Amino acid sequence: MMHDGARRVLALAIMQAFFATSGFSLLRPSIAAKLRYELDAPAHFVTGFGSLLLLGRTLGSLIGGMYIVNVTRCFESIAQPLSALAISLIIYCYSLLQSPTIILALAFFQGFAAGLMWPLLQSIVAVSAGSKRAAYLTLYTSLGGLGLVNGYVLYTMIGEDVGFKIVVASALYGITSLVAFVGLIWGYRSSCIPREQRKARIAFRGTVSLVFFSLMYGLLAGIGAEYSYLVIWEVVGLEKNLLGVIYAVADLTAAGIGLLIARLAKRYSEESLILTGLTVMFFASLISFIDRFLAIVGLGIYIAMVSALLGVARSYSVKLGGEQNVSGALALSNAASGIGVSLMEAIAGFIYVELQSLSPEGPLMLYSTMSLLLIAVVMVCRKSYKSF
């Protein structure tokens, strides 16, 4: 049974994550449409928005991690609700601006604010969970991630007014800030970093394993966005307007798988769960070569598993760091995975062209390759962890 205080913290964190991810998944296609079709921005401006967002988040995660470890004692910090409020205001500015360059500049600051917010929120969940950290973090990412589906649904239902969609995304982050303020008053104060963890430092060897694993997981996750859009449209041949349906179903599936993982986390180690998930992803990527229908199924499973494994991957990062400093490890994990996603988004287009030159189905090879590569990374990290 969950402790009442921990359950309250988890409920507040899930609500906060739900509204934030709803706003995020509504914003991304809306801002892309505004840049491309209203402001006539070139394609690299559209993809550059996401890259600058992740770059800002990486820097924010590092600074946020130092803040958590060296400044805050419990999670009464005003930084988290203020970060969500700052994101809300920045997004509202997008609806008014007519300059693609200024929008891209603000994307960096939006990412920076997100980098401050998310490690704090994940630390609240992880610290309050104690020995049930893997289960709590998986529940948090899975149920909070349903907001992604909500954002896709809103994008489809609201209509054609891109500016209004951006305003709604801003409002969702405003609600996120409000929930964070409620948490500040009602629940998060009970989640305090133990005294021994506040002064603890992650060993160099643990830092290397943590950063290496998180970086590689970021690379794996990085092919789930624009690269997969191209694969679904051009390799599989699916109509463009069905893309949102695929991702909505994948995110719903991810939530269900995440709930299952949360239950299994009480019995099995993080390594076992991650290796099992990666094996499923590997075989899902293989069936994608058979025919069009199985390609859609395989890619959907792959995309769902990336999201479903995120919580247990964060918990595993803490384990690799030695568990002396939960908050610091989570901040490092966020930063390293953000770098991995940014790097993959920067090179994925070139990889796509090269693999497509081998055969029409060539781009599908990257999915199985990345799955096998991360399986090898987990095996190496496990060996390193056991030799501590």
Question: 164, 193, 222 — which closes off a domain?
Answer: 193
User: Are 99 and 40 in contact, with CB atoms under 8 Å apart?
Assistant: no
Indicate if 136 and 265 belong to the same structural domain. Answer: no
Indicate if 73 and 213 belong to the same structural domain. Answer: no
pLDDT in tens, the chain (388 residues): 455 666 777 788 888 889 999 999 889 888 888 887 889 887 677 767 877 888 898 888 778 766 665 555 554 567 889 999 999 999 999 999 999 999 999 999 999 999 888 877 777 777 776 667 777 777 777 777 788 888 878 887 887 788 999 999 999 999 999 998 887 777 555 555 555 454 445 454 567 888 899 999 999 998 887 688 788 888 998 876 677 778 888 888 988 898 888 888 878 888 999 999 999 999 999 999 998 899 999 999 999 999 889 888 988 887 887 666 666 777 788 788 888 888 887 788 788 889 989 998 999 999 999 999 999 999 988 776 555 4
Q: How many domains does the chain have?
A: 2
Distance of alpha carbon 20 from alpha carbon 81, whole angstroms: 12
- Predicted TM-score (pTM) of this structure: 0.73
Domain region containing 179: 1-193
Indicate if 133 and 7 belong to the same structural domain. Answer: yes
Question: 163, 193, 223 — which closes off a domain?
Answer: 193
Question: 193, 213, 245 — which closes off a domain?
Answer: 193
Distance of alpha carbon 247 from alpha carbon 156, whole angstroms: 13
Indicate if 98 and 179 belong to the same structural domain. Answer: yes
Indicate if 159 and 106 belong to the same structural domain. Answer: yes
